[in-house]
A and B are shown apart, each in its own frame.
Chain A
């Protein structure tokens, strides 16, 4: 799946045909399983910002959890999950997560309410001079020194967000997952976030930016992976989002683009299929205007079209 042809060597993160399934209950294995993610593909390289866009509850945070190895016990995943060309095993995760791989949560509750912010940031640092290093980064993100001695409840939302970014900045992260919770953040905070994330990418870090909002994704990212019913239906370049979306490949992406106020505000009827509603055909078929017989019978494989990936028979 070398769609995003790049002369660079091994990608930072390579996910292929990945699926994530929940057992309803550990005691009762007879219960039907729910597949939250299936046929998920994504490749992220150094210095690249890949947005993952999907509706609320589509499994974006679970994808992040799967990469970080912090899934709930009743979840199992299958498929390829490579970091720097090698499988991301439990053993490798132990020293990669919190070091080379960092999460930037977007929920302000991600800070321990009973620990001083400076200390919390220092937990991801190694060696001597933690305090100085942490203060330097705080200054870089615009936090005065005394914030180090404050507890999360004493910070404003914007300051807490900067503390979370600072955590990613002090670590040696090569790969960063920014996970935005669905309510989203206010435009000002978002603008700041975008600046910091772009800065991180400029330093050569790979970023996976998770959001429910296509506009946010377009502001930040180089590429956009569109997540529908747990599958990647398209990976497009940011430039593909223009005009009426004729350069876009998948009907769902087009519909998303055209539902934006500035692009005609065309609503998309229906809802995403729930885990148990998925038929054997294309997951988007019930809502697709271009659907034909074959869409009902088979699941489309991923293909490369116009230097992007798409999972549709008629792209």
Chain B
């Protein structure tokens, strides 16, 4: 890649990200501001009787709720540009801090699930593709179709009932045992709490990756270059290693990086069912609790997260595929 191309690539992506964030902000800001939730009411909460109408008026004044909606948006936007995402009403601490803390918990969950679904999906896809038409292929395909059409929350409940309630192997929920100080929680305990949510979250991704990998492998195995390689006496592992992996990893990799959106969406559901204290759970609380600053913060953050996944997919694509690398970056 030439210097100029790199600059072009970065500028292009930056412009895309900026427009994306602006569009997402406007859309979510106005959706939220027209929701029937009264932020002052929610802020005051149970203290309602002890807060006089004047005080409520003051709060509304202080938050700028009397200004026009566009003006409110501009105020919020200005603050965000200065790095100030506001204060979360529910957590009573800066939105950025809440997101950072929650995201770390979610990250563990998502990384484990993402790696798991990538590796398992890729392997299943290879097995099914190499054994096309056999029982192994049928089993894997059936498994994937079943998974793809199973709602994640239902699967999560099923796991909970089987492994937590019935077998008692894993805790029923939360990220750490209840009643134990955060410092005293062992790694093993954290892992035990991670297993079921991660499993649930990985499963939707498995089907996707496996089916695409299978499809591509079948296409590659029927290709002229595989016939030629076989004619040259290559077979079995060497054949797949030399000519198969690179060719089939392209769809798998780009698909998997581009799936950050689904990953995040899945995390919201999984964290909800397992009461896992991650970003997904926070966004649900923020939405239901009318915590506008937090909600907007998470929306922006998740947009960046998904965008990063897509950029990585693009970059890796070019790294693996010389046709993209050498003919220049789009």
Interface residues of A (CB under 8 A from B): 26, 64-65, 68, 70, 93-99, 102-103, 105, 107, 109-115, 123-124, 151, 153-154, 167
Give the distance in Å from the alpha carbon of A93 to the alpha carbon of B322 in the complex: 34
Known contacts A111-B225, A151-B322, then 9 further A-B pairs from the complex at CB < 8 Å, ordered by chain A residue: A96-B233, A97-B232, A98-B231, A112-B229, A112-B247, A114-B247, A115-B242, A115-B243, A167-B232
Q: Does B232 contact A105, Cβ atoms closer than 8 Å?
A: no
Given known A-B contacts A151-B323, A151-B326, A110 and B233 have beta carbons under 8 A apart: no
Q: Does B234 contact A68, Cβ atoms closer than 8 Å?
A: no
Given known A-B contacts A151-B323, A154-B326, A105 and B233 have beta carbons under 8 A apart: no
Contact code string B234-252 (vs A, CB < 8 Å = 1, else 0): 1000000011001100000
Closest to A64 in B: B231
Q: Does A99 contact B227, Cβ atoms closer than 8 Å?
A: no
Q: Which residues from chain B contact A94 at a C-beta distance below 8 Å?
A: 233
Give the distance in Å from the alpha carbon of A97 to the alpha carbon of B231 in the complex: 6
Closest to B226 in A: A112
Whether a CB of chain A sits under 8 angstroms from the CB of B149 is no
Q: Which residues from chain B contact A102 at a C-beta distance below 8 Å?
A: 231-232
Q: Does B247 contact A26, Cβ atoms closer than 8 Å?
A: no
Q: List 25 A-B contacts (CB under 8 A).
A: A64-B231, A94-B233, A96-B233, A97-B232, A98-B234, A103-B228, A105-B224, A105-B228, A107-B224, A109-B223, A109-B225, A110-B225, A110-B228, A111-B225, A111-B228, A112-B229, A112-B242, A112-B247, A114-B322, A115-B243, A123-B234, A124-B232, A151-B323, A151-B326, A153-B323
Q: Which residues from chain A contact B229 at a C-beta distance below 8 Å?
A: 112, 123
Q: Does B227 contact A105, Cβ atoms closer than 8 Å?
A: yes
Give the distance in Å from the alpha carbon of A115 to the alpha carbon of B231 in the complex: 17
Give the distance in Å from the alpha carbon of A153 to the alpha carbon of B322 in the complex: 9
Q: Which residues from chain B contact A111 at a C-beta distance below 8 Å?
A: 225, 228
In the assembled complex, how far is the CB of residue B129 from the closest CB belonging to chain A, in whole angstroms? Answer: 15
Give the distance in Å from the alpha carbon of A123 to the alpha carbon of B225 in the complex: 13
Contact code string B210-231 (vs A, CB < 8 Å = 1, else 0): 0000000000000111011111
| Residues of B in contact, count (CB < 8 Å) | 22
Q: Which residues from chain A contact B36 at a C-beta distance below 8 Å?
A: none
Q: Which residues from chain A contact B228 at a C-beta distance below 8 Å?
A: 103, 105, 110-111
Q: Which residues from chain A contact B327 at a C-beta distance below 8 Å?
A: 153
In the assembled complex, how far is the CB of residue A234 from the closest CB belonging to chain B, in whole angstroms? Answer: 27
Q: Which residues from chain B contact A68 at a C-beta distance below 8 Å?
A: 230-231
Give the distance in Å from the alpha carbon of A97 to the alpha carbon of B323 in the complex: 30
Whether a CB of chain A sits under 8 angstroms from the CB of B321 is yes
Q: Does B231 contact A103, Cβ atoms closer than 8 Å?
A: yes
Q: Does A112 contact B243, Cβ atoms closer than 8 Å?
A: yes
Given known A-B contacts A109-B224, A115-B243, A70 and B230 have beta carbons under 8 A apart: yes
Q: Does B224 contact A99, Cβ atoms closer than 8 Å?
A: no
Nearest 5 pairs of A and B residues by beta carbon: A98-B233, A98-B232, A109-B224, A103-B231, A110-B228
Q: Does B242 contact A113, Cβ atoms closer than 8 Å?
A: no
Q: Which residues from chain A contact B231 at a C-beta distance below 8 Å?
A: 64, 68, 70, 97-98, 102-103, 105
Give the distance in Å from the alpha carbon of A115 to the alpha carbon of B223 in the complex: 15
Give the distance in Å from the alpha carbon of A97 to the alpha carbon of B232 in the complex: 6
In the assembled complex, how far is the CB of residue B225 from the closest CB belonging to chain A, in whole angstroms? Answer: 5
Q: Which residues from chain A contact B320 at a C-beta distance below 8 Å?
A: 114
Q: Which residues from chain B contact A153 at a C-beta distance below 8 Å?
A: 322-323, 327
Q: Does B232 contact A114, Cβ atoms closer than 8 Å?
A: no
Given known A-B contacts A26-B133, A115-B242, A151-B323, A110 and B224 have beta carbons under 8 A apart: yes
In the assembled complex, how far is the CB of residue B244 from the closest CB belonging to chain A, in whole angstroms? Answer: 10
Q: Which residues from chain A contact B321 at a C-beta distance below 8 Å?
A: 114
Give the distance in Å from the alpha carbon of A95 to the alpha carbon of B232 in the complex: 10
Q: Which residues from chain A contact B326 at a C-beta distance below 8 Å?
A: 151, 154
Closest to A70 in B: B230
Q: Does A113 contact B133, Cβ atoms closer than 8 Å?
A: no
Give the distance in Å from the alpha carbon of A39 to the alpha carbon of B143 in the complex: 46
Closest to B133 in A: A26
Given known A-B contacts A109-B225, A110-B227, A110-B228, A97 and B322 have beta carbons under 8 A apart: no
Closest to B222 in A: A72
Give the distance in Å from the alpha carbon of A64 to the alpha carbon of B228 in the complex: 11
Give the distance in Å from the alpha carbon of A71 to the alpha carbon of B210 in the complex: 27
In the assembled complex, how far is the CB of residue A127 from the closest CB belonging to chain B, in whole angstroms? Answer: 16
Q: Does B232 contact A103, Cβ atoms closer than 8 Å?
A: yes
Give the distance in Å from the alpha carbon of A96 to the alpha carbon of B228 in the complex: 15
Give the distance in Å from the alpha carbon of A278 to the alpha carbon of B322 in the complex: 49
Give the distance in Å from the alpha carbon of A110 to the alpha carbon of B247 in the complex: 14
Give the distance in Å from the alpha carbon of A14 to the alpha carbon of B161 in the complex: 68
Q: Which residues from chain B contact A110 at a C-beta distance below 8 Å?
A: 224-225, 227-228
